[in-house]
Structure 1
Amino acid sequence: MAMVPPPITLDVLVGAVSETQRIRIGVIGCGTVAQIMHLPYLRSLPAQFEIFALSDLSPGLLDLLGERYGVPATRRFLDYRGLLESEVDAVLVLSAGSHAPQVLAAAEAGKHILVEKPLCFTLREADEIAAAVSRSQVRLMVAYMKRFDPGFRHGERLVHAMREPRYVQINTLHPSEDQYIDIHGVHRFGDIPRDVAQRAEKAQEELLDEAVGAVSSALRFVYHDVFLGSMVHDINALRSLVGEPAGVLFTDIWPPDSKFPSVTTVLRHAGNLRTTYTWTYLAEVRDYFEELAVFSSSERVRVQFPSPFLKHWPTPVVAQRMEHGALVEERVEVSHAEAFREELLAFHECVVSGSQPLTDTADARTDIAVLQQIFAAFDPAGLGGEAKTSRG
């Protein structure tokens, strides 16, 4: 039986930076995740980051956050292209929808990039981003914060030491986000010009046409909001735990054309390993549940993520095994370190040392490819829809 590895420390996670270098960072998109997580944690790391410039489509929000974080009016931009012309060293792309336009422009401007998931909506966009990053030789890291969670890293080490995993079970019970967001006092002004909002909506619909074709509006919502907005985290984590899926055996999305969807899929891996993944929206009960569990004949490891909108909640890892005929169960809470803050430290390390990001363009592209295979395996025939294929 493999020894239980020691907890991951911050130095092991991001590496020791011999000489701290302060990065001037520009934030593109100042919505929910920026206000709750990224901006406060950037400010908590003054030796690593200076919040140098802000960009958002909302004038009121831009002014409010500019004052709060000490960004002068001359470095607040309604158009992100103005921010890219400033003296920022790196950008944090948090805008809604596909991030491809902002990421491509940032790469061409020679700025290092930390971009929230999803990287983009289509494989074509991902390939264009990879080419732009290669040409410019900037560092691009995709913000899969769960990969930097100390609890997840501990569970990952346990799984990698496991002999012949047989079964992976992923369950996400997703309540209404408002029950969590409201405690943070997120600001919204509703002052984005109508023509600007309409152009953004049109661009998103065109990308959805390219990605999933002529499916119902409800299924388009499932693709961009559920698959790319939430399930992408678990697919990325799954791949880091047990490797790449070899195929999709089954997908169901139900109820048909519902505003409150559920998804179940079964993935095939090499050998005898299978994954069953159910994501379900259960709006009213304020108890977010997300667990990745890996089982073998002799060991079981469960990684239990808290709500992504709660700060400094640990990610427990529960491990079971037999010893001398007795069942042994260990529950480990590695750290209260916040995953969003840890990923910022990891990004800083990549920029100042030139190291390769853990979660890069290729990693994100594979996630999109897997999700599109999962989506394409759903056959809505008989549910009032039309059979379709994923287009990439």
Structure 2
Amino acid sequence: MKNSTDLLNSEVTTSSTAHPDCKTKSLNATVSTAMSMPQRLRVGVVGAGEVTQVVHLPTLKFLSDQYTVVAICDVSREAAQHVAAKWGISNVYVSSSEMVQRDDIDLVLVANSDEYHASCAIEAANAAKHVFIEKPMALTRPDATAIQEAAKRNQRKIFVGYMRRYAPAFALFQKLLAESGPIRHAIVKDIIGPNSFFVSQSGTNPRKFGADISDSDGKDKAARAKAILAEAIGSKKASDARLAFVYRLLGSLGSHDLSFMREALGGKPDKCLSAFASSDGMFISVSFEYSNRGANKGDDKFNVLYTTGIHNVGVFESFLEVFTDDRVLRIDIDTPYVKGLPINVTVKENDENGHYSERIIRSTYQDAYTTEFLELHQALTSGNDLKTTPQDAMEDLHVFEMIMAHLS
């Protein structure tokens, strides 16, 4: 997740129509890759910014039996050197294309600016590396397609970092929802204070660098951002600062919520009924139409209200609440920048005596970032499938398009 300042300035599955021999070859390649993968995965990190310093490096250090970071790359050499010294990383790069050629890297973690996610992921896959790519995976369909093709062509796994979907509490929420009756209504809300408020209390003491970034690198990032927006939402909307900000907000903060919503409710919405964005684009409200999906749910339609935004108050309010006739389920998510905060599930219903009952279930203090890295490790070392693939991430782009079509 990026702050407001940052916003401004797979594995592809084999088609069912493929020749049987192709499926066998793909399966054999997956098994072979898993068998050759060391149990302690060697990681090269692209991007030495806030998320890397506050979240990824501490998590990988805690999981030192599963991961070891062997190289760090950033366009700011000062940033990369600072991170390397602090975390005991031996190799520093300013060129990701050079770093991914190392023979002692199994996994490349792409956590740099959104504008470079696609190119860095593709070059890593082309270098026969598996990839962890932070969300948003990509902001345009051509980039998302190119990432899928790179995963398939190189027979590499590409994992998209939707950490909320790996939270143990989310699995519990899904189980309770599956046991409940048809959904009648749902609310998705993510309105938060500035990242700096939470980061300052994380105990990680990150540092920001940039004085050594060249003018040409700065211009390249700006040009990429402009081109991405023009391709994603059209030149006319891209020239509107408000709509450009809305799209980038959907890609950053919004992609957490919309991906979470998709998995919880069984897929993409049927349609977007309406959308509103504030005059500065900092607050977005959307109404979706959904059909019930799954066993014992029927096919009646229901409404989902989605709202997201950033303000200056030091509060992190993010939840998904689902209403059925006989049960209300809610999952609350706290800031990911302070490790160990629980994700709770609240169940509201009448008990067998007709008395109102409300219970809060805290399944674990293990944070979602830890869980996702553990699941990724298992997938890479055992050949298990991933759920947050490039193909899955492309669904978010469709939802973004649905929303942007209602804004002008």
Is TM more than 0.5 here? yes
Whole-angstrom distance in 2 between the partners of 1:20 and 1:59: 29
Aligned to 1:265: 286
- What pairs up with 1:59-70 in 2 under 5 angstroms? 59-70=77-88
Is residue 160–residue 242 contact of structure 1 (8 Å, CA) maintained in 2?
A: no
Q: How does 1:118-133 map to 2 (within 5 A)?
A: 118-133=136-151
CA contact (8 A) 2:190 2:257 kept: no
Q: Which residue of 1 aligns with 2:348?
A: 320
Whether the 8 Å contact between 1:56 and 1:77 is mirrored in structure 2 is yes
Counterpart in the other structure of 1:5: none
* Residue 338 (structure 2) aligned to one of 310, 333, 349: 310
Aligned twin of 2:276: 252
Superposed CA offset, 1:203-258 (max 9, x none): 1110111001222122212211x10101111111111111121110000001x2x1
| 1:223 aligned residue | 247
Q: Secondary structure at the match of 2:360?
A: strand
C-alpha distance in structure 1 between counterparts of 2:135 and 2:362, whole Å: 26
Match of 1:154, as an amino acid?
L
> Aligned letter for 1:219?
L
Give the aligned partner of residue 107 of structure 2.
Answer: 90
Q: Distance in 2 between matches of 1:186 and 1:197?
A: 22
1:167 has 2:185 as partner: yes
Residue 231 of structure 2 corresponds to residue 210 of structure 1 = yes
**What is the CA–CA distance in structure 2 between the aligned matches of 1:374 and 1:313, rounded to whole Å?**
32
One-letter amino acid matched to 2:209 = F
Deviation at 1:70, TM superposition (A): 2.0
Shift of 1:20: 7.5
1:20·1:48 contact (CA, 8 Å) conserved in 2? no
Among 66, 76, 81, the residue aligned to 1:48 = 66
Three-state SS of the structure 1 residue aligned to 2:332 is strand
**Mapping for residues 322-341 of structure 1, pairs under 5 Å:** 322-323=350-351, 324-341=353-370
Aligned residue for 1:86, secondary structure, equals coil
For 2:88 and 2:346, the matched residues in 1 are separated by 43
1:243 correspondence with 2:266? yes
Aligned partner of 1:136 in structure 2 is 154
* 1:200 matches 2:221: yes
Match of 1:282 among 311, 334, 338: 311
Q: Which of 351, 354, 370 matches 2:380?
A: 351
Alpha-carbon distance, 1:201 to partner: 1.4
- Counterpart CA distance in 1 for 2:144 and 2:178 is 29
Checking the alignment, whether the CA contact within 8 Å between 2:199 and 2:338 is kept in structure 1 is no
SS in 1 for 2:247: helix
Query: Residue in 2 aligned with 1:389?
Result: none
Q: CA deviation at 1:181?
A: 2.0
Shift of 1:173: 1.7
Count of equivalent residues? 356
Structure 1 length normalisation: TM-score? 0.88
CA distances 1:62-95 after superposition (whole Å, capped 9, x unpaired)? 11111222222xx211010011111211100001
User: Are 2:190 and 2:309, in contact at CA under 8 Å, matched by a contact in 1?
Assistant: yes
* Residue aligning to 1:113: 131
Deviation at 1:154, TM superposition (A): 1.3
User: SS of the residue aligned with 2:153?
Assistant: helix
Alpha-carbon distance between aligned partners in 1 of 2:205 and 2:68, rounded to the nearest angstrom = 24
Aligned partner of 1:11 in structure 2 is none
Aligned mates of 2:161, 2:82 — CA distance in 1: 25
Please name the residue that 1:6 is paired with. none
State the secondary structure of the residue aligned to 2:183. Answer: coil
Whole-angstrom distance in 2 between the partners of 1:22 and 1:280: 39
Give the C-alpha shift of residue 160 in structure 1: 1.9
1:323-380 C-alpha deviation (Å, 9 max, x unpaired):
22111111111111011111111111111111111211111000121122112222x3
The answer on whether the counterparts of 2:148 and 2:391 sit within 8 Å (CA) in structure 1 is yes
List structure 1 segments (4+ residues) > 3 angstroms apart after TM superposition.
17-20
Long gaps (5+) in structure 1: 1-16, 381-392
For 2:395, which of 362, 366, 371 is the aligned residue? 366
Q: SS state of the match for residue 152, structure 1?
A: helix
